[in-house]
């Protein structure tokens, strides 16, 4: 669902790739020019916060900023997700580095 919105430079002229290897991990989406990784997290990530934190720090050491969204963010607020991604990519330093991990229980988060 997200890929359809960001592929082919559809989001603010930014080139995204999907399922790319970076720092020993395969990331969901990456804008290499802006060093931004976008991760989508399902319910399994509610219990994998330590792993996600290690992964986020490894990506940060490789020079990438990471933003995360719950899968249900896409269905409930796609426009907000796209706006957040564009702002993080184009705003550079204003993007969270690293971003907060999703909270257990499907609570909303700031990303």
The domain defined by 2-106 carries CATH number 3.30.300.30 = no
pLDDT string in tens for the chain (111-residue length):
999 999 999 999 999 999 999 999 999 999 999 999 999 987 665 566 788 889 999 999 999 999 999 889 999 999 999 999 999 999 854 444 344 444 434 444 444
Give the model's pLDDT for residue 78: 95
Give the model's pLDDT for residue 104: 38
Strand order in the sheet with 17-22: 17-22, 25-31, 36-41, 65-70
Give the model's pLDDT for residue 43: 63
Alpha-carbon distance of 74 to 82, in angstroms, equals: 9
Please name the residue that has the structure tokens 């257990």.
Answer: 104
All structural domains of the chain with their residue ranges = 2-106
CA 56 to chain centroid: 10
Tell me, what DSSP letter sits at residue 35?
A: T
Give the model's pLDDT for residue 16: 98
Give the model's pLDDT for residue 48: 66
What is the pTM for the complete model shown? 0.77
């Amino acid at each position: 669902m997200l890929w359809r919105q960001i592929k082919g430079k559809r989001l603010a002229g930014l080139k995204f790739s999907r399922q790319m290897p970076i720092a020993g991990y395969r990331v969901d989406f990456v804008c290499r020019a802006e060093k931004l990784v976008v991760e989508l997290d399902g319910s399994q990530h509610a219990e994998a916060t330590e792993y996600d934190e290690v992964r986020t720090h490894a990506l940060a050491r490789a020079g990438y900023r990471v933003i995360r969204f719950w899968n249900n963010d896409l269905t409930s607020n796609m426009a907000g997700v796209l706006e957040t991604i564009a702002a993080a990519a184009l705003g550079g330093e204003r993007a969270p580095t690293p971003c907060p991990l999703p909270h257990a229980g499907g609570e909303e988060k700031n990303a």
